[in-house]
């Protein structure tokens, strides 16, 4: 792909592909003002960064403060640059790289709709039990399961549901938080 | 609960501008800002300057801001008014120029309805401003305006947009003054970390081949930063070079001055960048026009980087000692620590370093072949400089060869006297910028060094200059080419000059007369001095058509994809070398 774009040593062709690409989870605390989501997404799109997952919700209602969890991939220098670019945005209060801090927790919620009858229904329930997924809706031909956990656990559950009769999935994306008594600067 | 005087949104705008000490607003009226224009009519604290195109308003505000250090203010209407301002906003963002742009918007209940002259102004300007706001409640207006001035002028300066719907301009609300107003969370770091300062000073003290590489951050940090920079240079005797944006921070007549660096920088500056052992970057950002080939950029040096914006650090070039903070604060601290430790650079090493630099200087890299029959563009700028030296002179430029020649041949002694579009490279910047500069400095000599192609992009602002009796001088180096485009076509594209020749140029002298200003023309070197003198003493706006050698090119030049020590010098470039200077990889670069 793009074989003609050989690295030349120019800033235009900083060759990041040869360096190790890492996946990091960033937590961003920002004012919940109109356009703040567009601003953050626009930064990633405009500067060519990746977004693997993004979740956002207002977390302190009376102060109108929102918290984003962004999962992104890049070389270490690109990841540092992403953090600095986020930090200099006017409505952003603070940014934490949860992966660099280590010892953080990431969870995701998914709703998984599975259809089928007979033995497949029983198999779906057995697997759901093993994964601690709850049935939140049922009809004679279908279930909807709610599963919470690390993204790879959710992935695994979904892949097991495929042969049973997976219809559709709705996932929230990853929410992250650091362990211990310390909190992020608000 | 907002307390304060009850007034209309439009009144609040004018009150806020007056409270922020705004004397001049550059703008253009239209349906969605008429209530504000009605208030402008009924007061005399804020003077409005009517431009001829909204892009002109933004560049005029930039010129005003750069030449004064104050915040430029723009007022335009919704829709096309806002979209026309986008080029100037982007220009101000890339060059870190403080600017507050007020845009009218259709009434709140029509937003999203595809109303007449509606556009998503905050959406369109989000990536080209430092921050922007849509004001939906008149009671938020005063606070947002104060925040807008705070954000535009604090930290790394930049443009902001405040989009004000027409019904908010009419609605009555409470005005609160700007006292103690800051943004609720935005707090850029101004004071540098003292450990970093000490580490930087220790590194410099041990250097054998140190070099200062300064940029627009020194200018933005205020006149005090330039004073401290001069003190630091005097104290340490370190050679100094600067980016395009930083010219004037250190005087061109100073003995440590090496000229501008980068793609069209001097031989000595680029060679010193390549060979130094400690590089001190003060308020510059390792732009691609500066670094050339990155993996061969100053390979043997330890690097110190002073920048107010942490995202500038390690963006393209990895540095050893980052110093986040305002340039003036950092220099003040460095000078204090240097003195306290009674540091001195090793004499022998510095003598050897200066000897090497003098050897590079002896190359006389800016020399060009003089001509008796044709005006050389470099000569025209040299004469302009010599004949205007005794005055306070402000120079603006457009973008292209003339801009690089101006940077090479005009000698700047002080900050805030050089206004040029560096980051975005906006052709058409210089003429409206000159309008803004002259507005701020009515008695000074303001010259836009222009090219025949660039100047036509914002030519209509001559009319503004005439209306406000602004005696700006537009000094056009007319070679009938988009010279820089042509130079690149010669270097990269086998001399196939695709669309870079300007057919049907206007007669600039007659055009000047049509605008009601003065037209002058010089065609021979012998008449140049008299014509320049005539231009300088004319108390009206002047369009000066300086016919220069049509095929002159701008050297030295670091071809794309090459290193600092692979410069092309004017004297030794044959046509064949020009044709093969850039390899296949370099051709893809801009």
**Is residue B484 flagged as an active site residue?**
yes
pLDDT one-digit tens code per residue, B205-222: 999 999 999 999 999 999
Residue B532 lies in a domain: yes
Number of domains in chain B: 3
Is A38 within 8 Å of B123 when comparing Cβ atoms? yes
Give yes or no: residues B420 and B519 share one domain. yes
Per-residue pLDDT, averaged over B176-203, amounts to: 90
Name every chain B residue with its beta carbon within 8 A of the beta carbon of A13. 588-589
Residue identified by tokens 């060869």 is B401
Interface contact flag, A84 B296, Cβ < 8 Å: no
Chain B residue with minimum CA distance to A81: B311
Question: Is B544 labeled as catalytic in the residue annotation?
Answer: no
- Of B127, B156, B561, Cβ closest to residue A8: B561
Question: Are B415 and B475 contained in the same domain?
Answer: yes
Tens of pLDDT, residues A140-179: 999 999 999 999 999 999 999 999 999 999 999 999 999 9
Angle between helices B223-236 and B327-340 (to 10 degrees): 30
Contact of B98 with B126, CB cutoff 8 Å: no
Residues B91 and B198 in one domain: no
pLDDT confidence of residue B183: 80
Alpha carbons B414 and B251: distance in angstroms, whole number? 6
Mean pLDDT of all residues belonging to chain B: 95
Contact at 8 Å (CB) between B496 and B489? yes
What is the three-class DSSP state of B24?
strand
**B309, B318, B585 ranked by CB distance to A88: nearest:** B309
Same domain, B278 and B164: no
- Mean local confidence (pLDDT), B246-264: 97
Task: Please give the residue of chain A at the shortest CA–CA distance from B126.
Answer: A39
**Nearest CA to CA, how far is A146 from chain B (Å)?**
37
Percent of chain B with pLDDT over 70: 96
Mark whether B399 and B327 lie in a shared domain: no
Lowest mean pLDDT among B103-112, B146-155, B405-414, B557-566: B557-566
Between positions 150 and 169 of A, the ones with CB within 8 A of B are: none
B88 and B233 in a single domain? The answer is no
Q: How confident is the model at residue A186 (pLDDT cuts 50, 70, 90)?
A: confident
Per the residue annotation, which of B54, B62, B332, B461 is the catalytic one?
B54
Q: Under an 8 A CB cutoff, do A38 and B586 touch?
A: no
Size of interface A-B (CB pairs under 8 A): 80
Q: Is the Cβ–Cβ distance between B541 and B518 less than 8 Å?
A: yes
List for chain B the helix, strand, coil content (%; round to 5): 45, 15, 40
> Mutating which of A2, A10, A35 best tests the B interface, going by the most B Cβ atoms within 10 A?
A10
- Give the pLDDT of residue A103: 84
Structural domains in chain A, sorted by start = 17-103 (3.30.70.260), 105-178 (3.30.70.1150)
pLDDT tens profile B54-87: 999 999 999 999 999 999 999 999 999 999 999 9
| Band (A2; pLDDT cuts 50, 70, 90) | very low
Query: What beta strand segments (E) does B216-366 contain?
Result: 240-242, 257-260, 278-282, 302-307, 321-324
Give residue B581's pLDDT band: very low, low, confident or very high (50, 70, 90). low
Which member of B23, B70, B117, B170 is catalytic? Answer: B117
Q: Are residues B87 and B117 in the same domain?
A: yes
Q: Which ipTM was obtained for this model?
A: 0.90
> pLDDT at position A3, please?
34
Tell me whether residue B583 is in a domain. Answer: no
Q: Does A123 touch chain B (CB under 8 A)?
A: no
Q: Is it the case that residue A11 has pLDDT exceeding 70?
A: no
> Residues B209, B160: one domain?
no
Q: Say yes or no: A8 contacts chain B, CB-CB below 8 A.
A: yes
The verdict on residue B35 lying in a domain is yes
On whether residue B557 sits in a domain, the answer given is: no
Answer yes or no: B172 catalytic: no
Give the separation between CA B102 and CA B30, rounded to whole angstroms.
13
Structural domain includes residue B577: no
Q: Identify whether residues B437 and B508 lie together within a single domain.
A: yes
Is there a domain that residue B302 lies in? yes
Q: Which residue of B has its CA nearest to A82?
A: B311
Quick check: A11 contacting B, CB < 8 Å? yes
B555 in a structural domain: no
Domain boundary among B335, B361, B387: B361
Residue B113, φ and ψ in degrees, nearest 5: -100, 5
pLDDT band at A32 (very low <50, low <70, confident <90, very high): very high
Average pLDDT over residues B176-204: 90
Give the CATH number, domain containing residue B281.
Answer: 3.40.50.1220
Confidence of residue B349 (pLDDT cuts 50, 70, 90): very high
Domain boundary among B361, B390, B413: B361
In this prediction, residue B503 carries a pLDDT of 83
pLDDT in tens, B374-426: 999 999 999 999 999 999 999 999 999 999 999 999 999 999 999 999 999 99
Q: Shortest CB distance from B293 goes to which of A8, A80, A81?
A: A8
Residues of chain B contacting A, Cβ within 8 Å: 122-123, 126-127, 130-132, 134, 151, 155-156, 183-186, 286, 288, 291-296, 309-311, 313-316, 318, 560-561, 563, 585-586, 588-590
Domain that holds residue B228: 194-361
User: Is the pLDDT assigned to residue A7 strictly greater than 50?
Assistant: no
Q: Tell me the mean pLDDT in the region B26-39.
A: 98
Instruction: Show residues of chain A in contact with B559, CB under 8 Å.
Output: none
**Per-residue pLDDT tens digits for B466-489:** 999 999 999 999 999 999 999 999
> How does strand B542-547 pair with strand B240-242?
unpaired
Q: Do B51 and B92 share a domain, yes or no?
A: yes
A10, B294: Cβ pair inside 8 Å?
A: yes
Last residue of a domain, one of B329, B361, B393: B361
Question: Does any domain span residue B369?
Answer: no
- Check whether B580 has a pLDDT greater than 70: no
Pairing of strands A92-97, A22-31: antiparallel
- Say yes or no: B166 and B258 in one domain: no
Q: Do B122 and A93 touch (CB under 8 A)?
A: no
Are residues B169 and B206 both part of a single domain? no
Residues 6+ apart with CB under 8 A from B535: B473, B475, B520, B542, B544
CB contact under 8 A, B126 and A38: yes
Say which CATH number the domain at B119 has.
3.40.50.970
Our CA angle for B72, B75, B80, nearest 5°, is 125
């Amino acid at each position: 792909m793009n074989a003609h774009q050989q690295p030349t040593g120019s800033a235009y062709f900083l060759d990041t592909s040869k360096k190790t690409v890492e996946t990091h989870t960033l937590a961003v605390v920002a004012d919940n003002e109109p356009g703040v989501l567009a601003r953050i997404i626009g930064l990633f799109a405009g500067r060519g960064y990746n977004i693997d997952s993004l979740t956002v919700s207002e977390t302190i209602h009376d102060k109108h403060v929102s918290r984003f969890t962004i999962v992104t991939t890049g070389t270490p220098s690109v990841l540092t640059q992403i953090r600095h670019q986020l930090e200099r945005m006017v409505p952003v209060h603070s940014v934490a790289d949860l992966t660099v801090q280590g010892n953080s927790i990431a969870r995701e919620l998914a709703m998984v709709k599975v259809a089928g009858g007979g033995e497949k229904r029983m198999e779906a329930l057995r697997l759901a039990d093993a994964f601690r997924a709850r049935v939140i809706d049922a009809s004679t031909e279908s279930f909807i399961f709610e599963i919470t956990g690390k993204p790879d656990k959710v992935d695994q559950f979904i892949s097991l549901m495929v042969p049973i009769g997976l219809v559709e999935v709705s996932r929230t994306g990853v929410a992250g938080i650091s362990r211990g008594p310390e909190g992020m600067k608000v | 609960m907002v307390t304060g005087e009850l007034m209309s949104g439009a009144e609040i705008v004018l009150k806020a501008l007056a409270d922020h000490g705004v004397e001049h607003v550059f703008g253009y009226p239209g349906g969605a800002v008429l209530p504000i224009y009605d208030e402008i009519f009924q007061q005399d604290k804020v003077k409005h300057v009517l431009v001829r195109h909204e892009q002109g308003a933004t560049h005029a505000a930039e010129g005003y801001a750069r030449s004064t250090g104050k915040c430029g203010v723009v007022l335009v209407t919704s829709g096309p008014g806002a979209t026309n301002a986008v080029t100037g906003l982007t220009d101000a963002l890339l060059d870190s120029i403080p600017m507050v742009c007020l845009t009218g918007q259709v009434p709140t209940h029509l937003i999203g309805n595809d109303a007449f002259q509606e556009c998503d102004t905050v959406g369109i300007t989000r990536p080209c401003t430092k921050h922007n706001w849509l004001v939906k409640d008149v009671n938020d207006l005063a606070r947002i305006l104060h925040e807008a001035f705070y954000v535009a002028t604090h930290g790394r300066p930049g443009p902001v947009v405040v989009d004000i719907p027409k019904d908010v301009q009419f609605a009555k609300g409470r005005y609160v003054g700007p006292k103690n107003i800051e943004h609720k969370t935005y707090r850029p770091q101004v004071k540098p970390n003292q450990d970093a300062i000490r580490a930087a000073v220790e590194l410099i003290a041990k250097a054998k081949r140190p070099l200062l590489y300064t940029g627009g951050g020194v200018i933005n940090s205020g006149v005090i930063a330039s004073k401290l920079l001069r003190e630091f240079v005097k104290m340490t005797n370190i050679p100094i070079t600067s980016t395009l944006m930083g010219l004037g921070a250190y005087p061109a007549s100073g003995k440590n001055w090496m000229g501008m660096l980068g793609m069209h920088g001097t031989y000595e500056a680029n060679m010193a960048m390549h060979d130094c052992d400690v590089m001190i970057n003060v308020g510059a950002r390792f732009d691609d026009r500066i670094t050339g080939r990155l993996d061969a950029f100053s390979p043997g040096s330890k690097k110190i980087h002073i920048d107010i914006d942490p995202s500038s650090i390690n963006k393209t070039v990895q540095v050893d000692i980052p110093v986040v903070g305002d340039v003036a604060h950092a220099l003040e601290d460095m000078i204090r620590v240097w003195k306290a430790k009674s540091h001195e650079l090793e004499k022998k090493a510095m003598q050897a370093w200066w000897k090497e630099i003098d050897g590079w200087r002896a190359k006389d890299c800016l020399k060009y072949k003089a001509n008796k029959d044709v005006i050389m563009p470099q000569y025209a700028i040299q004469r302009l400089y010599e004949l205007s030296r005794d005055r306070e002179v402000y120079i603006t430029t457009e973008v292209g060869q003339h801009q690089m020649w101006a940077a090479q041949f005009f000698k700047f002694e002080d900050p805030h006297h050089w206004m040029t579009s560096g980051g975005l490279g906006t052709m058409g910047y210089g003429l409206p910028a000159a309008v803004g500069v002259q507005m701020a400095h009515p008695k000074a000599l303001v010259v836009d060094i222009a090219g025949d192609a660039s100047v036509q992009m914002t030519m209509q602002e001559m009319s503004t200059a005439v209306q406000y009796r602004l005696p700006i001088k537009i000094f056009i180096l007319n070679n009938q080419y988009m010279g820089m485009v042509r130079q690149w076509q010669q270097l990269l594209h086998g001399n196939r000059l695709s669309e870079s020749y300007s057919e049907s140029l206007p007669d600039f002298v007659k055009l000047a007369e049509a605008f009601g200003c003065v037209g002058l023309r010089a065609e021979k070197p012998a008449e140049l001095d008299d014509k320049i003198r005539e231009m300088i003493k004319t108390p009206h706006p002047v369009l000066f058509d300086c016919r220069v050698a049509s095929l002159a090119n701008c050297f030295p030049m670091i071809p794309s994809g090459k290193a600092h020590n692979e410069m092309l010098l004017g004297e030794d470039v044959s046509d064949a070398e020009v044709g093969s200077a850039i390899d296949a990889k370099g051709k893809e670069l801009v």
